[in-house]
Structure 1
Amino acid sequence: MEYPDNQPGNPFVQYVSSDVLLSLQRTRTASGSEPSFLIVTQVMELLFKLVCTEAVSGRDLLEEDDLSGALRALRRLHRACLALCGSWEALTSMSPTEYAEFRDALGDGSGFQSYIYRHMEFLLGHKVPAMAEVHRGQEAVHRELLRTLGEMSLYDAVLRLLWRRGLPVPDSSVERDWRLPYPERDEVVDAWHTVYAQQDKHYDVYLLAEVLVDIAFELGRWRSTHLLTVERLLGSKTGTAGTSGAAWLRRAAEHRFFPELWAVRARI
């Protein structure tokens, strides 16, 4: 299906650039299932970008001590995560034979190579420097990933807010090398326990804690659904681009963003 170039006098098309968006679905086979796979994957890439946008907004507002504004941004981020989970619905019924019709056309392409996904992970606090090296061959992409890696994450900004509020967050959690993986600390679990135990005193921070868990829950659900979808399509086969497929995704599905917020639940 061909779509015309942007026509003068159509403000919707001019604003949304729908003429550009609708021209980006270039399938490589005659498979009837390939358009679903391609379009859903593109939708997910856009939603990853939206998560990144809201994570940066929330982080920066927290640094300005604008917690109410940050909560609005994080509620939008949570809705984007819900949409991400819902995106799988178009793919979860695909059969192995349908996927096999176009899988070879992917070549060495893999979701593992999505740099906007990596930006999202870094911004939310899951920093693995080696993951930026996957993109070293793309100079501009690699440079931007290193920039995101070197900036504080959303969770770093959250802990800095708690520290400024006088909660027992150690100094080493608020001033550190942001490029390094986040070290979980018992003192931070203690700080969150105080928030939950004294909700009346720390109600806005309690709301922050819960929206962060909402976000982490949906991202965990997204990863788990990704794993189940791959197992349905590939079983134990090697993934595209030589990844270990379901085995790698199973390890990834065990990760939790904002780890002390999960740990504190055992103490409440």
Structure 2
Amino acid sequence: MHQTEKIVQDEKAQLDFSQSMSYGDYLHLDQILNAQHPLSPAHDEMLFIVQHQTSELWMKLMLHELTAATHCIATEQLPDAFKMLSRVTRIMEQLVNAWTVLSTMTPPEYSAMRPYLASSSGFQSAQYRCIEFSLGNKNAAMLKPHAHRADLLAQVEAAYCAPSLYDEALRLLARSGLAIPSEYVERDWTQPYVASDVVEQAWLAVYRNPKQHWDLYQLGEKLTDIEDAFRLWRFRHVTTVERVIGFKRGTGGTGGVSYLRKMLDVVLFPEIWRLRTEL
């Protein structure tokens, strides 16, 4: 066979995916790209659907990383935990940018599709609720929006009942010999976290001598990065909603912007932020 003919045949063989797994097969692209079903005649509904679907995919990855990082902290595999926590921060940056895309939707464009949403709302996102619980913002009332689906409720309840990322960080500080009160090492994990002056002093000991407590110091900064990014995510959510719907009530029954603004005041890792004033 002529060398050129052989090259052509080899190239054709390489481009034939009928007998092997293709890119689309691996990623299940048929299912993903056919999962957008606008209910209104509005052109902009496709943007609304894709933005929320992609955000849910990023949140799925975030939960995957948060769950693993929390386990790694509990088992003192800190280099692995640091890598995962850094990835969580980068995912949140992607979610911030997603709000920037949605903000191109104007109020008349949203109004054209809003009646078709019924009572569906991002407030009902089970994955977002798991993220909040995993980061320590526990609230029993937030289980109710998921009560209509037993499988989702079980998922959210598991995150609600488990130690949060910060709970495991404090348990690590205690195992490292720092003075963490016993009620912060073993407690009812479903209860909201209450800041402690004693816990702040423990973190201060870490930050005043970072070389001696290098891993714990790094952990504190990874947690700071996450909360910093989370605040930006929340803020972009508020400003985008206000830009698009003003102060109307949310489709899920919340106060809309007023509710979201209250969430801006939630501090996940309070002692790590407070200690900066004392340094």
| Counterparts in 2 of 1:7 and 1:103: CA distance versus 1, 3 Å | farther
Which runs of structure 2 are paired with 1:203-214 in the superposition (5 Å)? 203-214=214-225
Report what 1:246 is aligned to: 257
Distance 2:170 2:27 in 1: 37
Q: Which amino acid aligns with 2:79?
A: S
Give the alignment's Cα RMSD to 1 decimal: 1.5
> Per the alignment, in what secondary structure is the counterpart of residue 176 of structure 1?
coil
Report what 2:267 is aligned to: 256
Distance 1:31 1:104 in 2: 11
Q: Which amino acid aligns with 2:55?
A: M
Distance 2:255 2:223 in 1: 30
Distance 1:135 1:239 in 2: 17
Matched, 1:125 2:136: yes
Q: Which amino acid aligns with 1:220?
A: R
Matched, 1:57 2:68: yes
Matched, 1:89 2:104: no
| Counterparts in 2 of 1:103 and 1:170: CA distance versus 1, 3 Å | same
State the aligned residue count: 263
Q: Is the 8 A contact 1:220 1:255 kept in 2?
A: no
Report what 1:110 is aligned to: 121
Distance 1:55 1:135 in 2: 21
Matched, 1:23 2:34: yes
Q: Which amino acid aligns with 2:222?
A: V
Matched, 1:225 2:236: yes
Q: Is the 8 A contact 1:58 1:73 kept in 2?
A: yes
Distance 1:124 1:37 in 2: 27
Q: Which amino acid aligns with 1:226?
A: H
Q: Is the 8 A contact 1:151 1:179 kept in 2?
A: yes
Matched, 1:147 2:158: yes
Distance 1:263 1:48 in 2: 28
Distance 1:233 1:245 in 2: 11
> Per the alignment, in what secondary structure is the counterpart of residue 242 of structure 1?
coil
Distance 1:20 1:120 in 2: 25
Superposed CA deviations along residues 38-97 of structure 1, whole A, max 9, x for unmatched, are 101111111111111111111111111111111111111111111111111211222111
Which runs of 5 or more structure 1 residues have no equivalent in the other structure? 1-5
TM-superposed CA distance for 1:168, in Å, is: 1.6
Matched, 1:198 2:191: no
Report what 2:58 is aligned to: 47
2:195 maps to which of 177, 184, 209:
184
**TM-score normalised by L of structure 1:** 0.94
> Per the alignment, in what secondary structure is the counterpart of residue 194 of structure 1?
helix
> Per the alignment, in what secondary structure is the counterpart of residue 146 of structure 2?
coil
Which runs of structure 2 are paired with 1:63-74 in the superposition (5 Å)? 63-74=74-85
Superposed CA deviations along residues 144-198 of structure 1, whole A, max 9, x for unmatched, are 2212211111111111111111112111111011111112111111111111111
> Per the alignment, in what secondary structure is the counterpart of residue 252 of structure 2?
helix
Distance 2:251 2:19 in 1: 42
Q: Is the 8 A contact 1:49 1:120 kept in 2?
A: no
Which runs of 5 or more structure 2 residues have no equivalent in the other structure? 1-16
The percentage of aligned residue pairs carrying the same residue is: 36
Report what 1:169 is aligned to: 180
TM-superposed CA distance for 1:7, in Å, is: 7.2
1:36 maps to which of 43, 47, 55:
47
Q: Is the 8 A contact 1:125 1:182 kept in 2?
A: yes
After superposing on structure 2, the runs of 4+ consecutive aligned residues of structure 1 that deviate more than 6 Å are none
**TM-score normalised by L of structure 2:** 0.90
